[in-house]
A and B are shown apart, each in its own frame.
Chain A
Amino acid sequence: MSAPDRLTCDEIRDLAPLFVTLALDEDEMAAVRAHLATCGEPHPELAELGEAATALLDTVEPAEPSAGLRGQLMAAAAADLAEGRHPASATSSSAVSASPVPALASTESPAPAGVATPVGPVASPAPAPVVSLDAERRRRRPGPGWWLAAAAVIVAVVLGGWNLALQRDLSAAQAYRQGVNAALQAAGQPGSVAALLAADDGSVSGLGVVAADGTVNLAMRGLAPTTGSQVYSAWSIGADGKPVSLGDFTVGSDGIAVVATKGPAAAPGAVLALTLEPVGGARAPSGPIVAKGVTAGAAG
């Protein structure tokens, strides 16, 4: 049913029971809202019927959502702060810090050429991504163990198109491949979770695996080289919604990071994210999210 451009007060009264129960189509709902936005009449019939309709919500049996939902929500909310989608984003740094966030850090020995250099003690965590609901739906439906079954595809995605690009830097390409292989090997261990990490524009991509004992393997490509005191910080955000730092690292001109570190064990649904921080050791993420991904059970 199509709605007239302008409704009269009598028509609003007539449509009231359908409006408060959302039984009008979108055009009609919009027409009623448009009327109410400008009408000087109080239209008490809407409140009268609307309050009764609202009471229906209390007839619903409460139900417990999955434990992972909390982590996803908190990760997405933290990402809002970091990426400017929340009104308080202008002060997001303090807002995130104010929330209790466990943290910390990792360091690693000097890395070979072509491999990211982990930097000192670390900072904490952060944000996570609002995941496409459709993608998330698809992600959640497969059972455990799907990851390895799709390993060949994953290798193609992670490494695809990389060979030619890296002919100019074979040592870096080799380091990246080794990093991916190490991550895939870790993904084969029981209790591991894995995520494809990517930038929104696809310029950065890679693989992150968290083993059952908390060992983390990251292999990333396409990262902008760090300069000065800049570091990339890796974060894990689990079901409790508290981001935990996995460590900081720097990246050279080849844009590759292969990092092995240790953090808390992660359950499927945890978010792995990389942020670019002005300095290492931050207690909370303040820089932009460079890449992110939601973990799925890797080994069955």
Chain B
Amino acid sequence: MSDIRSLPPTAPPDPGGITDEDLLAGLAAGTLDALDTLYERYKTMAFGIARRITADDVLAEDVVQEAFLGAWRNADRYVAGKGSVRTWLLSIVHHRAIDAVRRRRPTTDLPADDDGSLTPAPLTMPDVWGEVSGRLDREVVLAAVATLSDAQREAVELAYFGGLTQVEIADRTGVPLGTVKSRVRLGLLALRRALEGHAPEGAT
């Protein structure tokens, strides 16, 4: 039988002294510790989003792993002026999750990459947006969502968390496409108005 030696354990990075941008630079440089820290920082949000969209814990974990690997491989594509690292990362999770639920539908025919996964649009495309007022408390956002009409909230959530296209939303809700578009637009504008002026979490 072999003898086993072990290296001394390495102290974990100090999350308090490392910004998300620092971590992303670490990802771009291929530093596993940076990925580990970023994962620890956002795993619960990422998994929460993926699970909300997929309603499947196993699929949600697949989505989270794909999303973090996408960030790992493409960290150098992050554009600082187009939103925070947090938003960029969670947008990747969101896109991946939507792709996953659409791929799961038997009627959906989506192109796939060589490895079978869809191209993570947020890595390369202009689909990542900044924040209305910086990072907001969850209760604040929930209160803002509550200001939407039921029809607006339904349309927005069927799209954003249900992964339905406008055609599918129209079928589901029994309203014309134009009405779907209008409800989503008005819902988002109402949400924005409700959020503007709120101080970001932790701001003074």
B32→A23 contact, CB < 8 A: no
A54-B131, A65-B47, A262-B2 given as contacts; is B33 within 8 A of A100 (CB)?
yes
> Contact partner of A54 among B36, B91, B111, B156, CB < 8 A?
B91
Instruction: List the A residue with the shortest CB-CB distance to B60.
Output: A65
Interface size on B, residues (CB 8 A): 92
**Inside 8 A of B36's CB, which chain A residues have their CB?**
70, 74, 99, 241
Q: Is B10 an interface residue (CB 8 A)?
A: yes
**Inside 8 A of B191's CB, which chain A residues have their CB?**
52, 55-56
- How far apart are the CA atoms of A95 and B32 in the complex, in Å? 8
> Contact partner of A77 among B5, B69, B136, CB < 8 A?
B69
A141→B58 contact, CB < 8 A: yes
> Contact partner of B2 among A1, A77, A91, A105, CB < 8 A?
A105
**Inside 8 A of A65's CB, which chain B residues have their CB?**
43-44, 46-47, 60-61, 64
Q: Is A18 an interface residue (CB 8 A)?
A: yes
**Inside 8 A of B121's CB, which chain A residues have their CB?**
29, 33
- How far apart are the CA atoms of A70 and B98 in the complex, in Å? 22
- How far apart are the CA atoms of A88 and B110 in the complex, in Å? 30
- How far apart are the CA atoms of A244 and B4 in the complex, in Å? 10
Instruction: List the A residue with the shortest CB-CB distance to B130.
Output: A51
A137→B62 contact, CB < 8 A: yes
Q: Is B123 an interface residue (CB 8 A)?
A: no
B6→A70 contact, CB < 8 A: no
A65-B47, A80-B69, A89-B30 given as contacts; is B185 within 8 A of A49 (CB)?
yes
Q: Is A253 an interface residue (CB 8 A)?
A: no
B2→A18 contact, CB < 8 A: no
B136→A55 contact, CB < 8 A: yes
**Inside 8 A of B136's CB, which chain A residues have their CB?**
55, 58
- How far apart are the CA atoms of A81 and B73 in the complex, in Å? 10
Q: Is A208 an interface residue (CB 8 A)?
A: no
- How far apart are the CA atoms of A211 and B80 in the complex, in Å? 47
**Inside 8 A of B95's CB, which chain A residues have their CB?**
22
**Inside 8 A of A227's CB, which chain B residues have their CB?**
none
B4→A55 contact, CB < 8 A: no
- How far apart are the CA atoms of A64 and B61 in the complex, in Å? 10
B7→A88 contact, CB < 8 A: no
Q: Is B179 an interface residue (CB 8 A)?
A: no
A18-B166, A62-B45 given as contacts; is B195 within 8 A of A52 (CB)?
yes
Residue interface mask A233-271, B partner, CB < 8 A = 1: 000000001001001000000000000111100000000
B195→A73 contact, CB < 8 A: no
A136→B62 contact, CB < 8 A: yes
Query: In whole Å, how far is B129's beta carbon from the nearest beta carbon of chain A?
Result: 3
Q: Is B24 an interface residue (CB 8 A)?
A: no
Q: Is A204 an interface residue (CB 8 A)?
A: no
Q: Is A279 an interface residue (CB 8 A)?
A: no
B69→A130 contact, CB < 8 A: yes
Q: Is A36 an interface residue (CB 8 A)?
A: yes
A99-B32, A241-B36 given as contacts; is B2 within 8 A of A108 (CB)?
yes
Chain A interface (Cβ within 8 Å of chain B)?
1, 14-26, 29, 33, 36-37, 46-66, 69-70, 72-74, 76-78, 80-81, 85-89, 91-92, 95-96, 98-108, 118, 121, 124, 130, 132-134, 136-137, 140-141, 214-215, 241, 244, 247, 260-263, 283
Chain B interface (Cβ within 8 Å of chain A)?
1-7, 9-11, 28-33, 35-36, 39-40, 43-49, 51-52, 57-62, 64-66, 68-69, 72-73, 76, 83, 87, 90-91, 94-95, 98, 110-111, 115-117, 121, 125-132, 135-138, 141-142, 144-145, 156-157, 159-161, 163-167, 169, 180-181, 184-185, 188-189, 191-192, 195
CB pairs A–B below 8 angstroms (26 shown): A22-B160, A23-B164, A24-B166, A51-B130, A53-B129, A60-B49, A61-B52, A62-B48, A63-B44, A64-B44, A69-B61, A70-B43, A73-B35, A74-B39, A88-B28, A96-B32, A101-B10, A102-B6, A104-B7, A105-B2, A105-B5, A106-B3, A136-B62, A244-B6, A247-B2, A261-B2
Q: 5 closest Cβ contacts across the A-B interface?
A: A100-B10, A106-B2, A88-B30, A50-B129, A95-B30
